[in-house]
Chain A
Amino acid sequence: MYHLDGTDILDELYYRKTFSVCPECLKRIPAIIEEDDGKIFMRKTCKEHGDFEDILSSSAKYYKWTHYQKKDKNGNVVWQFEKDGEANPPDCAADDRGCPYNCGLCNEHLSTCSLALIDLTNRCNFSCNFCYANIEQAGYWIEPSLEDIDRIMKHFRSKPIPPPAIMFTGGEPTVRKDFPEICKMAKDNGFQEVIVATNGYGFQRKNGGAEWTKRCRDMGLDTLYFQFDGINDATYEKTRGIKGLMKYKMRVIDNCRKAGFDSIVLVATIASGVTDIEIGNIIQFAINNVDIVRGITFQPVSLCGRISAEEMQELRITNADVIKEIEKQTGGKLSMENAWYPLSTITEFGRLIAYLADVEPAEFTCHPDCGFATYLAVDPDSGEMVPIMEYFDPLEVIDFANRFWEKIKHKEKKSIQFFENMLGDFGKTLDEGLNFLDKTQLRARFLLGVLQYMRKPGKLMEMFSRLLMNGDWESVSSFSYGTLLISSMHFQDAYNMDIERTKRCIVHFGVAMPDGTVKELPFCTMNTLHRSDIEKQVAKKITQKVRDEFDTTVGQARQDIELEIMPNGGTKEEEDDTDA
């Protein structure tokens, strides 16, 4: 933890005013974020429902570091982790209720979407107690048609800055028979990265699981965002209410390996005293399966589903707690002090690379509190995975990129048009040549600038320089094969919602509404405020067919599922390890 201007971590207490919502009535209320006893708290009062307090970070030191602003002699901010987004044109106007009630997306929103989400269904073969998506509990069926899904995709892709990635969520998206076709539809609509958030259902099948996995890959699926709470059956019993689930999880890993599907991100919901003990296990599991596991995302649990507020306070864990736990369980090798950066750190860096490489930019202008990440790379000398920050000075590289981008960003809006004005169409071709030469010299300059701050030689740095020069998806892909991404992402709930965060959300749900429009909703406001209203508008009746058939189109009978995962949480074959 250091600042570019040499300032020490500030001693003065942190204090900020913001707005939040009342956890009882969900009305917008003022809130303060302040430091107390080395931690950061949100405190707020609802006139009707009284006082509320929630912890935002268990490390005031780290929180203050991520909120530091470097100013020039005139007091202008020249460096901070909080970035201004490139907002797309709003879909609707905000009314006097203000954020977060006008979602859809209103003109108060400050960031464009970088990851589009579509709930493909609210059916799931699991029934986790903290999940919002459950057909039985809801009493209605949510499943957009292929036409609806196409409409949502086109909505996102028609934006001036479209999201390069899409994630299918649910429920369990792979219960849909048409899931592979939906992946293809995403590719056809121009999404570069197609991801599914899954408990592994479709991929774990004993019969045909590997073939189905291969089919999904061939149809365009790039990455599994794979629910993985640990390596102990007992952990899954607590989190998912299901026995013997590790065998199920291992079948997904095996089938992916058989199918040549090599991009899995392990996603662990972290609850205090339940899954935090598994953090080291998960990291080691990822390293041991690094041929197909590309990353881990830890998600501190948020109060968006069926869980009582009292229970939630017991389970509450913050991003800082996760980082501390990782530090503890890795013997200090991945420490809070040197390994973790807010996702927004690479905003200008990403824009610069996209511009130089002529690819779509991915905007990471989320709030600094949203998530933290680090890359691990194999140190060729020790054979150990170390934070990539050991290879270069991260803040210096980022600062150089920021200054570089500030100087050249006008070129993004207006390319060189020297000959076109004189020679018409022929001049255009000459201008293209000029632009190519200009970008080539810019790339060389930027790479030399970054080179100054590199600390270690080796193949990884060659990969990194290829990434800088090419910036294309292939270079990103090659680079990711030598590294393991670890991140912690804390979604908000009504207790800790900070409107400053909400306005900067970059992960947006798309919902096809009955009137033919598409509503675009930031992730945290959708789950905390809008989900029930929206779902009632798009809900369908649960027909007998849906009740009888687990997978409505393929005819996968509910009874077949019960053979794997019994309603009481047992598995029929739990004694048989070899067959699992």
Chain B
Amino acid sequence: MPEEVIENKDGLKVRKLAELKTTTAKELEDAMLKRVKYFKEQNEKKSGFNSSLQNTFFKAFSSVLDLKINVDKALGEENLKQVHKVIDNILLFGL
């Protein structure tokens, strides 16, 4: 057991604090990516066109997300609320 585990008066091994720090963070991300790769391959088997379209979309999405986070910071909280309201209205328009 890691050293942060102590034994209480009843002899129970008790963690002083669950740190949430995982030594398997890398493995976890690898497992997730492996899984994604597997399903990407499966999707490609079904339809290569749809799959590449989707992958391009998600790549673009990631870039937009990065940009959006920077813009959020520049806008400030109050302005951001107004922007959200406008975008909400646009996206819900005509539904």
Contacts and interface: CB of A to CB of B under 8 A. Distances in A.
Nearest to B2: A284
20 contacts: A277-B14, A284-B18, A284-B19, A287-B18, A290-B22, A330-B20, A376-B20, A378-B28, A384-B22, A384-B25, A442-B95, A445-B92, A447-B61, A448-B87, A451-B64, A451-B68, A454-B65, A455-B72, A457-B66, A477-B35
Contacts of B23: 288
Given A290-B28, A461-B62, A281 B18 contact: yes
A459 interface: yes
Interface of B: 5, 8, 10-15, 17-25, 27-29, 31-33, 35-36, 39, 42, 54, 57-58, 61-62, 64-66, 68-69, 72, 83-84, 87-88, 91-92, 95
Contacts of B57: 469
A310 B46 CA distance: 61
A250 B21 CA distance: 22
Given A277-B12, A457-B62, A330 B18 contact: yes
Contact of A291 (B19, B24, B61): B24
Contacts of B36: 463, 466, 478
Size category of the A interface is 35 or more
B91 A445 contact: yes
Interface stretch (A130-138, A228-236, A360-368): A228-236
Given A277-B12, A481-B35, A459 B29 contact: yes
Given A290-B22, A447-B61, A475-B39, A331 B31 contact: no
Nearest to A411: B95
A383 B83 CA distance: 33
A276 to B, nearest CB: 11
A427 interface: no
A178 to B, nearest CB: 31
Given A232-B12, A376-B20, A469-B58, 17 more contacts: A281-B13, A284-B15, A284-B18, A288-B22, A290-B28, A291-B27, A331-B17, A378-B22, A378-B25, A384-B22, A385-B22, A403-B92, A451-B64, A452-B84, A454-B65, A457-B69, A465-B61
Given A449-B91, A481-B31, A482-B32, A474 B18 contact: no
A442 B91 CA distance: 9
B65 A451 contact: yes
Contacts of A231: 13
